[in-house]
Structure 1
Amino acid sequence: MAMMRGGSLSIVEYLGGDGGYRCGYCKNETGNCSHGMWTHSLTVQDYQDLIDRGWRRSGKYVYKPTMNRTCCPQYTIRCQALHFQPSKSHKKVLKKMLKFLIKGEHSKADIEVDPMESHSKEADGCSFSLKNPPVRSQSELRPLDTDPTEEEEMTEEINVVDSKNSEFCNEKSNTDSSKSLQIAHIEHITPKPGRGADLSKPPCRKAKVIRKEQKLQKKLQHQTWPVSLQTGAQSLTSQNSHPKTNQTKSIEDFIFVTLPPEALHQIEVRLVRSSPPSSQFKASFQESYQVYKRYQMIIHKDPPGKPTTSQFTRFLCDSPLEAEHLPNGPDCGYGSFHQQYWFEGKIIAVGVIDILPKCVSSVYLYYDPDFSSLSLGVYSALREIAFTRQLHEKASDLSYYYMGFYIHSCPKMQYKGQYRPSDLLCPETYTWIPLEQCLPSLDHSKYSRLNQDLKVADEGMVKELDQVQILHKRTVMPYRVYKRNRKGPSDEETVQQYAALVGQACSERMLLFRS
């Protein structure tokens, strides 16, 4: 046995499985099921292994949906950042930001929640299936000096964000219905007479005709005709043909492009460590909190007294992750950070992220509602993918961007599948399966063993409990010793459940607190 050494080991408190609570996605009043742990401290490697087994953190609370029971199964999704190519809609957002920086054009009135900004509300580290941790945990937390009221506040906070997911879906449907009413109204308006064709411009031609001409020109260029005939043929189509300019651009081509001298604005992204808080984080705390408060009140209609500094701190600043620096790691180190978006000397958005051995894990995003029209949810996600690529240059193992949970059974939450190539985590084998291969199974059943090879099993399965590490009376011991000295009823079933959920590697490294 050994005495506990602070700061070097993960210390967790398993709270068991809970279910029968309201779901923020489908509104089922009793369908939400998950398992939870309170994490007093957590190494980045242990958390990496936990999220690779379907866990996710909200503050210092770490939870795992009970996939085969919960009403809306939540599959861990990761984007292969090194191979990511932006879609047309992604490029549209990036171009919109460039246009704003160069010309200063954006509409403050255009406040609407785009899908990726819904991603921020569900906290992505917190799809908020977490509900009401068992009351019994309060007394167990006291020996380690945890505030017994903290759990009650966390429960209220989770329920609040759960309702915000539903607000997004309702807001979207209401917007759609209002648009249809507007369209119906417009149909009865007599159109104004036009001014006719603009004779200074060439006449419009169908894209089909242009494609045929381009195909003909390409064919003619490969013919071995006399030069005079080639020249004549080319002259027939040259007046309507244009050189190809649509070369594939990466997100870096948009994000890190040098702005022209006449650009009106600049945007700067600053990375500050949130836990333990750096001096830069402390200096900007109040301003960052005020952005969060405005975001909650305007976008989510929170009353002024609800987004308190303590709630903000507990939810988005407190983290169980240890700050770690490794020789082959990124210069900034590993752990929990805020990416602050500074514009004209003030913060307009903050992306909350975890930097782990294999990934950048997106936790949350909040922003100044005056800049809603810039689609900051999508823009920040693309910047975080680019940031992941930058970190990979120094830390070769760090090559994924984790987006939280993908919920196929909730259409409003399928947007994460647009960041490709992406993989989903099989809930039974804990292997990664390409998203495209998973979709047919998920179309058929909302819960699915995604790995179709029945020979594959969970390699991290706990085969025996003897080596599970226990922290009891501030002393570290393997479970076999703890069990031998324990007085009272057996807790073997609880320890077995915990070990099965966290896996062999974590159960032998992390310290399971037992009172």
Structure 2
Amino acid sequence: MASVVEYKGPREGYRCGYCDAPEGKVSSGMWAHSMTVQDYQDLIDRGWRRSGKYVYKPVMNQTCCPQYTIRCRPLHFQPSKSHKKVLKKMFKYLSKGEFSKGNNEEEPMDSQMDDAGMHDFALKSKLDIKSDQRPLSEDCHEIKESKVKEKEDLEPKETKMLNKSHAKQEKLGSGEPSGSVKVVPSTPKPGKGADLSKPPCRKAKDIRKERKRQKLILKSQTDQVQHEEKPKLNQPKSIEDFIFDTLPDKSAHQLEVRVVRSSPPSSQFKATFQESYQVYKRYQMVIHKDPPDKPTVSQFTRFLCSSPLEAENPPNGPDCGYGSFHQQYWLDGKIIAVGVIDVLPYCVSSVYLYYDPDYAFLSLGVYSALREIAFTRELHEKTSQLSYYYMGFYIHSCPKMRYKGQYRPSDLLCPETYVWVPIEQCLPALENSKYCRFNQDTKAVDEERIKELDRLRVLYKRTIMPYNIYKKRQKGPSDEAIVQQYADLVGQTCSERMLLFRS
């Protein structure tokens, strides 16, 4: 199956929804009658994006608010403090039914790294206490004797001399020669003398050496335990740890996320169509202030249900297959939000989110983005090349659209060479100019730039042919300029694979 597209050319001078300039927006577009997931993957890697079946690309150096394609790298993603706050808020609401309708962004949130630091401190304290314990309890009496000896050493010299003189006088008075001392065996008084049931005394110096040796051994063991345990304690919690944390048996609410194919519509999608549409209608009226007659069923279908992407289910692909889906958020048996996504060979591409305004306090925009990042990681486990999360466009000139840059690590697409550049390297340039070429290599060019226009494929009068054959059969004025423009925008590979419809 080949993609069939009808190029509409540039569209200039229409109202911008970001800065409200009445005629500031400029883009090129084409109607996609059908499209393979690989072709769309290659197109969004060149700055294209779809709305229903209409695929468009901003003219970056002319439009009032340049829109840069942004992608997150979920395999290295770690939730920020504000992301954790949203995840904890959802868990608290599901488990206890508690929530705050105030300014949620001002609520304090504990840092997970601080928690890990407390665990490290607790382990260190226990090990320090253990190292201070003396394994020489059997030598307590030696320590006591040592203290007695130290006390004797500290006695004044005069006291010692006096004691010695008294001892000598006692011997002379007894009639014994002064040069001899008679030793009389006697039983020690209670509480004095060595306890023969215990090991012989050791010098205090030896005891101190033994104690030091024991400390060194214990410190070595402690360092080894800390080395083994510390990485585990310092490992920050992932989004899965928050999202799939076990709820209590009697939790206040139950949340289920269902992925249903929207094109072609699955039976589950058809069964929930009306309920999903009603959520969309309320969202448009309350959040975007649309009049009640604007969010019609046909408008909803064209915008968020119709898709040019062909469903594919290869054996080595994700379990859900490739194509367009609605990710439905069911709370206690009813839909409260829907994330519209495309599952492509290398990424999950976010298209749109709408939700019940009654549940705005749950920060469903942030929560759904984190769920889609987790979903991308889940798909990656089976399909290794599927490892990116595309968030649409990053618009630095519009402050309210900069939030996408908070999902790190992320990259922006260079609008001239179509290479990915880490967003940290792009932001300084964007502070100085709305339009920027991110690739710092001045010699680098678009590797997919059109080289052979004659190899472009055309669908003309129900016949597929290369462009050079079409030119010979074409009647009327030449359309080579518009075909050249189309080829430059889609690149050599897509121009040779997709079919450009010409009437």
Q: TM-score, normalised by structure 1?
A: 0.73
Partner of 2:325: 337
2:92 is the alignment partner of 1:104: no
Higher relative contact order, structure no. (Cα contacts within 8 Å, ≥ 6 residues apart) = 1
Select which of 15, 20, 34 maps to 2:8.
15
- Mapped to 1, the partners of 2:459 and 2:102 lie a distance apart of 54
Matches within 5 A, 1:419-498: 419-498=407-486
Q: How many residues align?
A: 398
Partner of 1:39: 32
Offset of 1:246 from its aligned partner?
6.8
Select which of 69, 72, 76 maps to 1:79.
72
Select which of 379, 387, 390 maps to 1:399.
387
Matches within 5 A, 1:151-166: none
- Mapped to 1, the partners of 2:233 and 2:317 lie a distance apart of 39
CA contact (8 A) 1:335 1:356 kept: yes
Q: 1:257 to 1:226 in 2, by over 3 A?
A: closer
2:500 is the alignment partner of 1:512: yes
Moved more, 422-431 or 452-461: 452-461
Moved more, 72-81 or 12-21: 12-21
2:97 is the alignment partner of 1:69: no
Offset of 1:226 from its aligned partner?
9.5
> What secondary structure sits across from 2:401 in the alignment?
helix
> What secondary structure sits across from 2:71 in the alignment?
strand
Partner of 1:173: none
Offset of 1:453 from its aligned partner?
0.9
Matches within 5 A, 1:340-359: 340-359=328-347
- Mapped to 2, the partners of 1:97 and 1:489 lie a distance apart of 61
CA contact (8 A) 1:110 1:372 kept: no
> What secondary structure sits across from 1:25 in the alignment?
coil
- Mapped to 2, the partners of 1:374 and 1:63 lie a distance apart of 32
2:80 maps to a residue whose letter is S
1:16 maps to a residue whose letter is G
Partner of 2:489: 501
Task: Output one character per residue of 1:42-69: Cα deviation in whole Å (capped at 9) or x when no partner.
Answer: 1000000000000000000000000111
Offset of 1:302 from its aligned partner?
1.9
- Mapped to 1, the partners of 2:233 and 2:280 lie a distance apart of 41
Offset of 1:247 from its aligned partner?
4.5
Partner of 1:94: 87
- Mapped to 2, the partners of 1:305 and 1:111 lie a distance apart of 32
Select which of 258, 264, 278 maps to 1:270.
258
Matches within 5 A, 1:224-239: none
Q: TM-score, normalised by structure 2?
A: 0.75
Matches within 5 A, 1:109-124: none
Q: 1:263 to 1:71 in 2, by over 3 A?
A: same
Offset of 1:369 from its aligned partner?
1.1
Partner of 1:319: 307
1:349 maps to a residue whose letter is A
Partner of 1:56: 49
2:276 is the alignment partner of 1:288: yes
- Mapped to 2, the partners of 1:429 and 1:399 lie a distance apart of 22
- Mapped to 2, the partners of 1:247 and 1:38 lie a distance apart of 48
- Mapped to 1, the partners of 2:99 and 2:381 lie a distance apart of 34
- Mapped to 1, the partners of 2:51 and 2:501 lie a distance apart of 20
- Mapped to 1, the partners of 2:128 and 2:489 lie a distance apart of 64
Moved more, 448-457 or 269-278: 448-457
Offset of 1:106 from its aligned partner?
2.4
- Mapped to 2, the partners of 1:318 and 1:110 lie a distance apart of 37
Q: 1:253 to 1:471 in 2, by over 3 A?
A: same
- Mapped to 1, the partners of 2:20 and 2:410 lie a distance apart of 28
Offset of 1:262 from its aligned partner?
2.7
- Mapped to 1, the partners of 2:306 and 2:85 lie a distance apart of 35
Matches within 5 A, 1:195-274: 247-274=235-262
Offset of 1:301 from its aligned partner?
2.2
RMSD of aligned alpha carbons: 2.7
Offset of 1:447 from its aligned partner?
0.6
Moved more, 45-54 or 299-308: 299-308
> What secondary structure sits across from 1:63 in the alignment?
strand
Percent of aligned positions with the same letter in both sequences?
74
Partner of 1:120: none
CA contact (8 A) 1:111 1:372 kept: no
Partner of 1:309: 297
Select which of 380, 387, 403 maps to 1:415.
403
CA contact (8 A) 1:81 1:400 kept: yes
CA contact (8 A) 1:288 1:350 kept: yes
> What secondary structure sits across from 2:454 in the alignment?
coil
> What secondary structure sits across from 2:470 in the alignment?
helix
